[in-house]
Amino acid sequence: MERGPTRDGGEPGPAVAVAAVLPAGGCGERLGGPTPKQFCPVLGRPLISYTLQALQRVSWIKDIVVAVTSENMDMMRAIIHQYQHQRVTLVEAGATRHRSIFNGLKALAGDHPHSKLPTPTVVIIHDAVRPFVEEDVLVSVVTAAKDHGAAGAIRPLVSTVITPSADGCLDQSLDRAKHRASEMPQAFLFDVIYRAYRQCSDHDLEFGTECLHLALKYCHTKAKLVEGPPDLWKVRRKALPCPGGTEGSGTLKRALVKGTSVTLCPNGQDLQKIFLGECYNFVCINVHFLDSQNVSFSERMKELMEMKDFAKEVKERNIFLYGVLVCFTQDNLQQLHENVRQGASIITSLLKDRNAGLTGQLLIA
């Protein structure tokens, strides 16, 4: 177990000791490729670094325990050093998600060899590939966990859940209005979740995925469910969303090249229809080209957040706004051509699928 540098800060947020556990031992099977998705570069920076940055901005989270596989330990050390992440402790991941979380909890309980971390009152469990978690969501789940023993973020179901029969036919369909999708972050009284993991069966450790269920099954603790924002997405595939949340179909494409917005439609009629309110079910796709050598991610983030806010406004008029980001460097035009091809594929899918869950998001080619 390795301990990174610490940082002094103010004491806003819940008036209890809080730590976080970040399981990062996955192999990224659904994403494809040789690199686990948590280590895949986004704008030249590993995805997990953005998640750590989001957590370390919250000064009242005193310790962040990251569980990584032994073969990726050196890579994780290098990321911590390069991006100056603070309050981070590394432990070895287990063979499954639950086993990795259990190893992280052991470090906080003092059961891990050479552990010097204090045991928190409340522990947050979050995904390494959910980089856009905000402090208000963390406050909500931690406060609810303090009062109820366990809490987790939820979102409305986007697709209907069905149960197939043994012969591959429809058996039953769940009412989406009565069910919710369980998301991250989740938070627990440390004693509750640690006791649950210590009692957990080998089957649950091997095949389970839901931490709230373990608290209920082994400690009879009913989690408080907290409505989360639409951007609690998790990276699962090669089209990586950035901030946002909703859907679309249509005809207007704009390019933002080195900060200059260029309208690609031949005339202004489409925009006039938008402002006159005569357009419906309209798709607007912003294509951003980012020279990662000359334009910093922080410079572009302001523009992306403005796009996210604007997407919420125009969605009320049934206009769906997406973004596509094409990254490149001046000395690798072949990679630019490949990224443009991937961007075109993403645009085709957006126009075809009209996925409401992606409105206001930036998809990275």
Model confidence pLDDT, tens digit, residues 35-50: 788 888 877 788 899 8
Residues 291, 357: one domain?
yes
Is residue 94 included in any domain, yes or no? yes
**pLDDT > 90: what percent of the chain?**
41
CA atoms lying within 13 Å on the CB side of residue 339: 22
Q: 273 with 221, same domain?
A: no
Look at residue 215 and tell me if it is in a domain. yes
Lowest mean pLDDT among 77-86, 110-119, 141-150, 314-323: 314-323
Higher pLDDT, 337 or 356: 337
Looking at per-residue confidence, does 56 or 14 come out higher?
A: 56
Quick one: which of 240, 346, 245 has its CA closest to 287? 346
| pTM for this entry | 0.64
Q: Give which of 177, 296, 240 is closest to 31, Cα–Cα.
A: 240
Last residue of a domain, one of 168, 200, 227: 227
The reply to whether 207 and 342 lie within a common domain is: no
Same domain, 76 and 183: yes
The Cα-based distances of 103 to 10, 90, 93, 199, 320 in angstroms read 29, 10, 7, 14, 43
Statement to judge: residues 66 and 158 lie in one domain? yes
Chain center to CA of 141: 16
- pLDDT at site 301: 60
Task: Determine the pLDDT at residue 344.
Answer: 78
User: What is the per-residue pLDDT for 45?
Assistant: 85
Q: How much is the average pLDDT of 150-178? A: 90
In a domain, 259, yes or no: no
Residue type, 37: K
Length of the chain: 365
Range of the domain at 305: 269-364
Asked if residue 255 belongs to a domain, the reply is no
pLDDT digits (tens, 9 = 90+) for 16-70: 999 999 999 876 554 455 678 888 887 778 889 989 999 998 999 999 999 999 9
Question: Can you tell me whether residue 280 is helix, strand or coil?
Answer: coil
pLDDT at 125 over 70: yes
139 lies in the same domain as 284:
no
Distance CA 198, CA 253 (A): 54
CATH number of the domain at 166, please.
3.90.550.10
Closest of 248, 210, 289, 316 to residue 43, by C-alpha: 289
Say if residue 139 is in the same domain as residue 219: yes
* Separation CA 254–CA 287 (nearest Å): 6
Last residue of a domain, one of 200, 227, 254: 227
Mean pLDDT of 212-239: 81
Answer yes or no: is 243 within a domain: no
Q: Are residues 91 and 209 in the same domain?
A: yes
Q: Which residue has the higher pLDDT, 91 or 317?
A: 91
My answer on whether 77 and 208 are in the same domain is yes
Examine the domain organization and report whether 166 and 68 are in the same domain: yes
Is there a domain that residue 241 lies in? no
Q: How confident is the model at residue 205 (pLDDT cuts 50, 70, 90)?
A: very high
pLDDT higher for 272 or 308? 308
Contact 23/104 with Cβ under 8 angstroms? yes
Residue 322 lies in a domain: yes
Q: What is the pLDDT of residue 309?
A: 72
Structure tokens that stand for 158 in this block: 């986007």
Residues 278 and 218 in one domain: no
Q: What is the pLDDT of residues 237-261, one digit of tens each?
A: 444 443 333 332 222 222 222 222 3
pLDDT, residue 267, reads 41
Whether 210 and 274 share a structural domain: no
DSSP letter string over 220-274? --PPEEEEPPTT-----SSSEE-S-------SEEEEEETTEEEE-SSSSHHHHHH
Specify the number of domains making up the chain.
2
- Any domain includes 128: yes
> What confidence score (pLDDT) does residue 123 get?
98
**Per-residue pLDDT, 316:** 64
